Structure 1
Amino acid sequence: MQTLNIGILAHVDAGKTSLTERLLFDHGALDRLGSVDAGDTRTDDGAIERQRGITIRSAVAAFTAHGTQINLIDTPGHSDFIAEVERALEVLDGAVLVLSAVEGVQAQTRVLMRTLRRLGLPTLVFVNKIDRAGARAEGLLADIRRRLTPLVVPLTRVTGIGTPDARVGPCPLDLPAAETLAEVDTGILAAVVDGPEPTPDTLRAALAARTADGSVHPVYFGSALGGQGVAELVGGLVRLLPEPGTAPASEPEPAAPADAAPRGTVFAVRPGPGGERTAYLRLYEGEVTARQRLTFLRREADGRTTEIPGRANRLEVIGRGGPLTGGNIATLTGVAGLRVGDRLGAPPPDRAPRFAPPTLETLARARRPEQAARLRSALLALADQDPLLHARPADDGATALLLYGEVQLEVVAATLAQDFGVEADFEPGRVRLLERPAGTGEAWEELPWLDHTRYWATIGLRVEPGPYGSGGVFTYETELGALPRAFHQAVEDTVHGTLRDGPHGRPVTDYRVTLIRSGFAPPLSTAADFRGLTPIVLRRALARAGTRVYEPYHAFEAEVPPDALAPVTARLASLGAEFKETTGGSTAWVITGELPARHVREAELRLPGLTHGEGVWWSRPSGDRAVRRTARA
């Protein structure tokens, strides 16, 4: 049986969780419909998700339709969890982007569509809530073409829209559909220009091919609560999306050999009541069986790759029995310490995670001092489950956290209280700055009888810039084996630990540190000597190299009415924005550019007042830039 792994994405309150419940109920996977309002949905299974009515973590549920097993991955909609969305996307075969027929295209909808189109992921659009007052059809299609993508083909149409009697019927593939397809399909273009006119069968084949390569997006109207249009959407998923492992016809690729080594990605991890964690593994090729020994690979933040070995004590394939085969998803336990993003074998081509690291930094302190150790343990445990939540010990019993936004911080606080019984106070968040080496510097210290230091060790280090995004890398010029392994490890670990705070008080990143001299005096030398001397030598080398401080920037897009263009651009300029393009005119202007992350929140808060509530703001991390002042903040 063919399997499709489908992601459901939407802005907050568009109805993606309701659509998931409807799909599962209509195809017999649920015996009753869950309700977001009632807090009894299947995919939002966490207590906090139920209370807040938002999806936080990716969940998987399966049903069968038209001889195909469809695994639904219901992803978060809130912008604070966009990284959670992006890491789920790499395991998908296709996506359904849900819009509300009432609220229409939202800023978060545009963020999601940008991501989907960048990845080339086949995407169907489902316009929900057609039975609600204020729902639109033709006007919304015009908005989709203008604000999301012009390459959409409606496959259903609505009668009685905006009323409880709204119904959905088929929309024929006619000349407008042919003209849309002609923009990305040379065969259809030739038929439209030179004739004869393409037949419906030709148009259907072209639509399937162009949907599969992510260039055209079919649109379906419906209601998740009422069930209208859902059957048509399911038919489109089965008909238009490519089978897992197949490439578009224009990009054929050889099939993997039957005995290929297993290759997959861990895309979600859920803690169990007894502390054991369950990992969700999407397999691309090969086979995994219960009790099989596996070795996962993890790329650490400093650029190193570590191995996580273990045995799949329990393996449950979603929606079916037997071993896990290519294209399917399974839950597994037994491999201790698995995190989201860990790889089994090599990653699939062009599907590496591309999310930016979090930039909001805060300090957490236990409300009750006697719970300080418990709080730190809980936060480190949460960070161990989720690589997009960074936690590390700080001074005075506090724990430093890196997050994406205030809503994520609220969820962390609620999780601490409900799951760990710890109440915490958080300092106001601040934007995290980083340091990078500005040049190359070397330093060394010899054994005591040569230089009168108190450490029985010789260490020489070179510090130099590494490639952007490489994190931290430690290498050797000395002969391997010249030092005992424990001494080597002591130097390497201390280098990475020391560079958590650079000369300007910020973490150092994108560095390359090389051991250029080494020596020891048996039996006097110990690993403690190398741990003690390394920071002294490293800081001296780093001072000679110099560092520059960098602050994160966001790419932004603001859509404003014409009369608000001047005040909005003036405000953005005062906040340090660098403008890229301003387009539009009669109905709205779209301003794009980049802005220091520390001013993004202010820009968001100012926009409604400057635009009489009509402005739309979108932004996301876009790298960082050097700042002129390097004082501690």
Structure 2
Amino acid sequence: MMKKITTGIVAHVDAGKTTLSEALLYGAGNIRNLGRVDNGDAFLDTQQLEKKRGITIFSHEAKLTTDDAEITLLDTPGHVDFAFQTEEVLSVLDYAILVISATDGVTSYAKTLWNLLEKNHVPVFIFVNKIDIAGTNKGQVLTDIQKSLSENCLDFSQEDQTFYENVASADDQLLEKYLNGEEIMNSDIQNLIVQRKIYPVYFGSALKLTGITEFLAGFDKWTKEKEYSPDFSARCFKISHDKNGERLSWIKILGGKLQAKTELAGEKINQLREYNGKKFTTVVKVNAGEIVAATGLTKTYPGQGFGATYAKEASLKPVLTYKLNPLDEDIHACLMALKTLGDENPQLHVTWSEHLQELRVQVMGKIQLEILKQLLQERFTLTVDFEQGSILYKETIAQPVEGVGHFEPLRHYAEVHLLLEPGPRNSGVVFENNCSLEVLTKNWQHQIMTALKSKEHLGVLLGTPITDVKITLLGGKGSIVHSVGGDFREATYRAVRQGLMELKEQDQLILLEPWYDFRLEVSQEHVGRALNDIQRMSGQFNSPENKGDRTIIEGSAPVSEMQDYAAQVRGYTHGDGIFECVVKGYLSCHNAQEIIKQKNYDPVSDLENTPNSVFCSHGAGHTVTWDKVPETAHYPYTYPLK
């Protein structure tokens, strides 16, 4: 019986990812003609927009059959602006194929992909492409990969004594077996690959079909099928719409089976489709290990888990927000179109302000914005523009605090005490319950925890989302007679804000901004200008590295300062400089006081996010300002610092 493998090809833009996909399909005999990305006839670049631009923008699926395996091949976008789509695909892969260009080496984005693969525990095969180009050196490229990614990235192109020594050295038990003269089995090596203890490296040229046969044979030999539970579980990793507007939920079955006409997450599946490029066949059921596109589902979203599978949140998130200029188009038609695109990509965070009659979206960068404009034109015949965006700032805390919220208008009652603690950088907001059932009933605790998780909590410096905070329920108070639905929600929201105001008073809040990791390659005559620019942009950099007559500068800088720098590099190097950047994450804002003063946000006037509480006296509810809430609270403080 043939093994079923799901693999995805990931790479930096222009590394030759789609070209490798074509070569593998052609080499395995699954397509008759070898397509080219630059000719617009690549089997997996099925969208008109992709054919025009010569880049992959969406993830696509193809079927590839070898002697021993039925492989589902997922091609992914290579441009950093679409990294969130690549990350969604990683969650359903058995193996990944990371393409490294021999001419570029390990780029910043390749390192980002490597970290994402590690986070998702995906075993990796590496294909070094363009090895045929003059000036490339196999040994140097392998050294670069081992230095930048892992020393256990091993050359699998020759199976000799050195090969087996290197493999054995990656695992203590296997090394002992090898030193005792025992044979290293293929299954031993397969297990090391699955455990991410070794990473096979192959070399070739996808365009010239060099090394393709060897890579396919190696992939066939060194992969093994996963073992799946008989209990149903699955994950949705993509939402799209076909040419007729039919909504497709792309799902990997991770256990059991899935049948058409059955219910999934409360909705009935209409049709199950197995795609191969643009074409599909309908099937009655799919088994574990297979990927299917389901119709009839309206509420699914990328990252959603079903059955025993948990939901997965993306770690790559947009850092820029832009306002739509509808030009002569109807703003509500634009809203409906963006809602469809936002359904496919929730990371767009499409927001509509009825009061301002404004539409805003969040994006990773300028290329994604250009693609968004073209999608609106081609799919919805809407000609629009986007106006200069602003940076998405976030806020965090520097020390713990107990926050208190009280909500007691007439015939209502709830009090909530929360502990807010600083979390690790880029950890988001996490919640914990440390409240005794003797203090609050299970139902009230559930209401509080639900309220905490159902809202994006805003900080009090700019009114932007908080992050890197752990919020723990400590205690509170309810009334059997007066506590009704919604009371604890109100008290919970106020408790978060009250705690933040306490910290603001103590100057213990930190404004965060997104930073880029960048790599800049220029000729030596431009090094002085480049270093001055980086310092001017409040950036940091490592010691420049000379490579022939070129200099490579790597470092990090605020997105706010560096977001338009690519155009400047093109200008002062007359197109000769190479600049790439990826979002590093959120770090302390380099000009926090300036931004806070500019925004002039008043948290007390933000009535939808008030830090104040409502108490009852003499038969009527009245507002108590946040600073007076602790001394007015009914439940005692439990955090030891108080």
* Same-fold status (TM-score > 0.5): yes
Q: Which residue matches 2:267? A: 310
Confirm or deny that 1:420 pairs with 2:421: no
Confirm or deny that 1:90 pairs with 2:91: yes
Alpha carbons of structure 1 residues 612 and 341: separation in structure 2 relative to 1, 3 Å:
closer
Confirm or deny that 1:504 pairs with 2:466: no
Confirm or deny that 1:269 pairs with 2:239: yes
Alpha carbons of structure 1 residues 618 and 364: separation in structure 2 relative to 1, 3 Å:
closer
Q: How does 1:155-174 map to 2 (within 5 A)?
A: 155-156=156-157, 172-174=158-160
1:267 Cα deviation from its structure 2 partner? 0.9
Deviations 1:577-596 (CA, angstroms, capped at 9, x unpaired): 467x7697898998776543
1:94 Cα deviation from its structure 2 partner? 1.0
Say whether the 8 Å CA contact 2:407–2:490 is kept in structure 1: no
Equivalent in 307, 311, 326 of residue 366 of structure 1: 326
Q: Which residue matches 1:343? A: 305
Q: Which residue matches 2:61? A: 60
Say whether the 8 Å CA contact 2:236–2:249 is kept in structure 1: yes
Say whether the 8 Å CA contact 1:504–1:632 is kept in structure 2: no
Q: Which residue matches 1:465? A: 420
Deviations 1:483-502 (CA, angstroms, capped at 9, x unpaired): xx9xx89x9599937x5585
Confirm or deny that 1:51 pairs with 2:52: yes
Q: How does 1:125-140 map to 2 (within 5 A)?
A: 125-129=126-130, 137-140=138-141
Q: Which residue matches 2:290? A: 328
1:433 Cα deviation from its structure 2 partner? 0.8
Equivalent in 398, 406, 417 of residue 366 of structure 2: 406
Q: 3-state SS of the aligned residue for 1:70? A: strand
Say whether the 8 Å CA contact 1:318–1:328 is kept in structure 2: no
1:64 Cα deviation from its structure 2 partner? 1.6
1:533 Cα deviation from its structure 2 partner? 11
1:41 Cα deviation from its structure 2 partner? 2.5
Alpha carbons of structure 1 residues 611 and 209: separation in structure 2 relative to 1, 3 Å:
farther
User: In 2, distance between residues paired with 1:217 and 1:56?
Assistant: 27
Say whether the 8 Å CA contact 1:376–1:398 is kept in structure 2: no
User: In 2, distance between residues paired with 1:352 and 1:528?
Assistant: 28
Alpha carbons of structure 1 residues 153 and 616: separation in structure 2 relative to 1, 3 Å:
farther
Q: 3-state SS of the aligned residue for 1:41? A: coil
Alpha carbons of structure 1 residues 133 and 322: separation in structure 2 relative to 1, 3 Å:
farther
Deviations 1:486-527 (CA, angstroms, capped at 9, x unpaired): xx89x9599937x558552423455859896778999xx999
Deviations 1:272-299 (CA, angstroms, capped at 9, x unpaired): 344431111112212212222222xxxx
Q: 3-state SS of the aligned residue for 1:428? A: strand
Equivalent in 223, 226, 243 of residue 241 of structure 1: 223
Q: Which residue matches 2:597? A: 631
User: In 2, distance between residues paired with 1:329 and 1:473?
Assistant: 33
Amino acid at match of 2:393: L
1:631 Cα deviation from its structure 2 partner? 2.8
Q: 3-state SS of the aligned residue for 1:418? A: helix
User: In 2, distance between residues paired with 1:241 and 1:511?
Assistant: 40
Q: 3-state SS of the aligned residue for 2:339? A: helix
Q: 3-state SS of the aligned residue for 2:15? A: coil
Q: Which residue matches 2:584? A: 621
Alpha carbons of structure 1 residues 556 and 518: separation in structure 2 relative to 1, 3 Å:
farther
Say whether the 8 Å CA contact 2:452–2:492 is kept in structure 1: no
Structure 1 spans left out of the alignment, 5+ residues? 157-171, 246-255, 296-308, 449-455
Deviations 1:564-610 (CA, angstroms, capped at 9, x unpaired): 9888666545544467x769789899877654332343676677869
Amino acid at match of 1:71: T
Deviations 1:19-72 (CA, angstroms, capped at 9, x unpaired): 222333444433433332232323222221221111122111112211310000
User: In 2, distance between residues paired with 1:399 and 1:501?
Assistant: 23
Q: How does 1:180-579 map to 2 (within 5 A)?
A: 180-186=166-172, 189=175, 202=184, 207-245=189-227, 259=230, 261-295=231-265, 309-317=266-274, 323-347=285-309, 352=312, 355-368=315-328, 371-394=330-353, 396-436=356-396, 439-444=401-406, 446-447=408-409, 465=420, 468=423, 469-471=427-429, 496=455, 499=457, 502=460, 504-508=462-466, 510=469, 543-544=501-502, 546=504, 548-555=510-517, 572-577=534-539
Q: 3-state SS of the aligned residue for 1:202? A: coil
User: In 1, distance between residues paired with 2:418 and 2:497?
Assistant: 10
Alpha carbons of structure 1 residues 334 and 631: separation in structure 2 relative to 1, 3 Å:
same
Q: Which residue matches 2:629? A: none
Alpha carbons of structure 1 residues 528 and 340: separation in structure 2 relative to 1, 3 Å:
closer
Deviations 1:374-421 (CA, angstroms, capped at 9, x unpaired): 212222332222122212123522222211111111111111111122
1:184 Cα deviation from its structure 2 partner? 1.0
Confirm or deny that 1:80 pairs with 2:81: yes
User: In 2, distance between residues paired with 1:503 and 1:269?
Assistant: 36
Q: 3-state SS of the aligned residue for 1:33? A: coil
Q: Which residue matches 2:602? A: none
Amino acid at match of 2:201: V
Q: Which residue matches 1:251? A: none
Say whether the 8 Å CA contact 2:320–2:392 is kept in structure 1: yes
Alpha carbons of structure 1 residues 535 and 619: separation in structure 2 relative to 1, 3 Å:
closer
Q: 3-state SS of the aligned residue for 1:427? A: strand
Of 119-128 and 604-613, more deviation after overlay is shown by 604-613
Structure 2 spans left out of the alignment, 5+ residues? 600-642
1:115 Cα deviation from its structure 2 partner? 3.4
1:548 Cα deviation from its structure 2 partner? 4.5
User: In 1, distance between residues paired with 2:323 and 2:131?
Assistant: 45
Amino acid at match of 1:620: V
Equivalent in 576, 593, 597 of residue 559 of structure 2: 597
1:552 Cα deviation from its structure 2 partner? 2.6
User: In 2, distance between residues paired with 1:363 and 1:471?
Assistant: 27
Deviations 1:54-111 (CA, angstroms, capped at 9, x unpaired): 1122111112211310000001111112222122112111122223445554443343
User: In 1, distance between residues paired with 2:145 and 2:503?
Assistant: 51
User: In 1, distance between residues paired with 2:113 and 2:491?
Assistant: 49
Alpha carbons of structure 1 residues 526 and 140: separation in structure 2 relative to 1, 3 Å:
closer
User: In 2, distance between residues paired with 1:567 and 1:341?
Assistant: 44
Alpha carbons of structure 1 residues 392 and 461: separation in structure 2 relative to 1, 3 Å:
farther
Query: Percentage identity across aligned positions?
Result: 25
Say whether the 8 Å CA contact 1:495–1:535 is kept in structure 2: no
1:114 Cα deviation from its structure 2 partner? 4.0
1:540 Cα deviation from its structure 2 partner? 6.7
Q: 3-state SS of the aligned residue for 1:367? A: coil
Of 44-53 and 34-43, more deviation after overlay is shown by 34-43
User: In 2, distance between residues paired with 1:607 and 1:632?
Assistant: 29
Alpha carbons of structure 1 residues 115 and 536: separation in structure 2 relative to 1, 3 Å:
closer
Alignment RMSD? 4.6
User: In 2, distance between residues paired with 1:399 and 1:6?
Assistant: 38
Amino acid at match of 1:316: R
